[in-house]
Every structure is written in structure tokens, then in C-alpha cells.
Amino acid sequence: MNIVVLIKQVPGTTQVKINPDTGTLIRDGVEAVVNPFDEYAIEEALRIREKVGGTVKVVTMGPPQADSALRTAISMGADEGYLISDRAFAGSDTWATSYTLSKGIETLEEVDLIICGKQAIDGDTAQVGPGVAEMLNIPFVAWVRKVEEITDTSIRVERLMEEGYDVVEMPLPGLITVVKEINTPRMASLKGKMKAKKAVITTLNTTNMNTDPKRIGLEGSPTQVLRSFVPEKKSGGEIIQGDVSDLVSKVKSTIQSLGVIK
């Protein structure tokens, strides 16, 4: 079974600051980690490999420093790491990211199963997994909480729903995105860390990937972020007391003073 896990490097904090002038993330001094949901994806791939044999390849798209996310996955037990990195990919939205990742996957030998996290904790869109499946024209199941059975040609999974779960069977090759209920990710072993240090990471870019220049980076991104900002913190409210007519007139005068109504 040839398994590919897509992992994203994200800031290790939810307190991300945004540069008010450029509207971009301030990444300096912020520790970068493997997206937590992707650790469940790596763990599940390793468990499937332990059960049925095969290889686990981890793929990330990001700047050169995303190399360390791949090494983290290798230290957990993944076999190979692939870094999709090129200046031409900068500014990609989820559509262009999905396209570029799908083109990276196409450079790998036969792939049976692709596993993604449910969502990235920074972008939070949960679009990339399904997007990659669409671009590769393969089926997918999102929000998988358990892999019940897997064979060379199919996979049966439990998909988390708001009330309960669905049991879904899908032919392979296919893609799943996983939720944290699926497993407990293992810690890296010392042997794994040594292996990760020495591992050769393959870099994929516009010279060795068959990408259409019109579908990558800013040009290939139909989404436009007009403004990014951190909402201002609001200070404590005011409790207004009195009878109903008093309250109504106080609320009305407050709204009028804010210029919302005349």
C-alpha cells in the first residue's frame, strides 16, 4: 500500500499577529510545528503500513524551512519526505495549493491512499484535502474517525457526523481527511530522530513538476484577501437597570450616540 500524507507547517500558536500595513502574518519569532491534525494523519498512515505493509511518503508545500515538518514526520516513522517549494507558488490560495499538491503527488509512483488532517489550524478552511481529491479525480471521505477495513482496492471508514457517524466504503485510490478521535499520535523514537536527521528530502518545484504557470501562485488563485486584521479587544460592557421604558430610551440614546440610527 503506497500511502501519501499531506502535512502543513503552521505557527505553534493560535495568537498569530498580523502586520497591519501588509496584512500578512508575522512569522518572525513564532515557532513552527506540524499542523496538529496532520499528526493524526501520519499516525494513521503508520498504523495502516504496520497492518498491510507498504510505504508512507509525507509531502508538504511551503517555504524551505517546512523541511523540518517533514523530518518530524520521518522521526515518527514515515519513509520519505517531499518538499514542494518554489517562489512561483507564493501567494497560493486553497485552490492553487490543492492544484500544486496534486501535481506534486502525480510525480510520485503509484499512490493508493492519501491522508490529510481535517483542517489546518491557521488557514482553517478544510478545503485542501477535498480540493486535492477533485484535482486528481479520485473519491474522498472527510472527517474520518476510524478506518474499519482496508484492502488493496477499497477502504471502509467511519465518518464523524454531528449526531453519530456514517460507515462509508470507497474504492482506492482515494483520499481521506481525519479527525482527532481517530488515534493517539506516537512520540518520535531516538532511532527515528537519528533517521530523520540524515534523511534526504526530495524538493519538487516548477522545474521537475508539470505545473501550468497560469494555475499556480497568485495568478492561479481566484480568491483575493482584501484585508486581514485582528479584531480590536472590546472592554467590559455596561449594565443598564430600570423599568422597561427607561431601558428602551437608554438603549435608543446609546445607539443614536453611536450614529447607527437618528
For residue 48, the minimal CB distance to ligand FAD (Å) is 16
Amino acid occupying residue 221: S
Q: Is 73 in the site for ligand FAD (CB under 6 A)?
A: no
- Which residues in the 87-116 window bind ligand FAD by CB under 6 A? 90-94, 97, 101, 116
Which of these ranges, 1-9, 153-161, 168-176, 244-252, lies near ligand FAD under the rule CB under 6 A? 1-9
6: cell is: 499531506
- Which residues in the 19-38 window bind ligand FAD by CB under 6 A? 35, 37-38
Q: Is 256 in the site for ligand FAD (CB under 6 A)?
A: no
Task: Tally the C-alpha atoms within 13 A of residue 122's C-alpha that lie toward its C-beta.
Answer: 22
Which of these ranges, 60-68, 133-141, 145-153, 197-205, lies near ligand FAD under the rule CB under 6 A? 60-68
Q: Is 136 in the site for ligand FAD (CB under 6 A)?
A: no
50: cell is: 504496520
How many Å apart are CA 237 and CA 44, to the nearest integer? 47
Given candidates 13, 65, 125, 154, which one binds ligand FAD under the rule CB under 6 A? Answer: 125
Given candidates 11, 77, 81, 117, which one binds ligand FAD under the rule CB under 6 A? Answer: 117
Given candidates 76, 113, 120, 216, which one binds ligand FAD under the rule CB under 6 A? Answer: 120
Range 210-217, long-range pairs (CB < 8 A, 24+ positions): 210/103, 210/106, 210/107, 211/88, 211/99, 211/100, 211/103, 213/88, 215/96, 215/99, 216/88, 216/89, 216/92, 216/96, 216/99, 216/100, 217/88, 217/89, 217/90, 217/91, 217/92, 217/96
Task: Tally the C-alpha atoms within 13 A of residue 147's C-alpha that lie toward its C-beta.
Answer: 24
Q: Is 211 in the site for ligand FAD (CB under 6 A)?
A: no
- φ/ψ of 3, rounded to 5, equals -110, 135
For residue 60, the minimal CB distance to ligand FAD (Å) is 4
For ligand FAD, the closer CB: 133 or 170: 133
Chain residues in the site for ligand FAD (CB under 6 A): 6-8, 35, 37-38, 41, 60-62, 90-94, 97, 101, 116-117, 119-120, 122-129, 221, 223-225
